[in-house]
Amino acid sequence: MPIRYLHTMVRVKDLDATMNFFKLLGLNETRRIDNDAGRFSLVFMAPEGQEECPVELTYNWDGDEGLPSDSRHFGHLAYRVPNIYDMCQKLMDAGVTINRPPRDGHMAFVRSPDNVSIELLQEGDALPPAEPWASMENTGHW
């Protein structure tokens, strides 16, 4: 019996802030379910042309006191980007901390407003090392 990937779900505390973070990465809202009886919203976001691979943001209207926790039990979401330096600069300019800078021109890690770890990978070969990334220290953990 073959299986098919559907989505990755993460719980979020601030839906607008989290959606804005994923929009910075290039994801768009593809579907939304607002459940009045259950008092929650499910927002699916995916890169353009990859709508079959969404992240599901689960938002409980009455709050979720457990968030944001470390979330390291979750692992991470990974996205390939055309230029890792440009993406990291865009995120930094928007106030996002680069937890693991792309010193190698290949890989970086950031965290969403809900503390979900996001891995960014350079498409194709690694870019040549460049400043300020090459000498930038890690911040926190990923």
Q: State residue 45 phi and psi, 5-degree precision.
A: -130, 140
Distance of CA 115 to the CA centre of its chain: 9
29-38: long-range contacts (C-beta < 8 A, 24 or more apart)? Answer: 30/54
d(CA 51, CA 54): 6
Q: What's the Cα-to-Cα distance from 11 to each of 2, 8, 49, 83, 125, rounded to whole Å?
A: 28, 10, 24, 29, 33
- Decide if 119 is catalytic: yes
Catalytic site residue from 48, 52, 56, 119: 119
Catalytically active residues, by annotation: 119
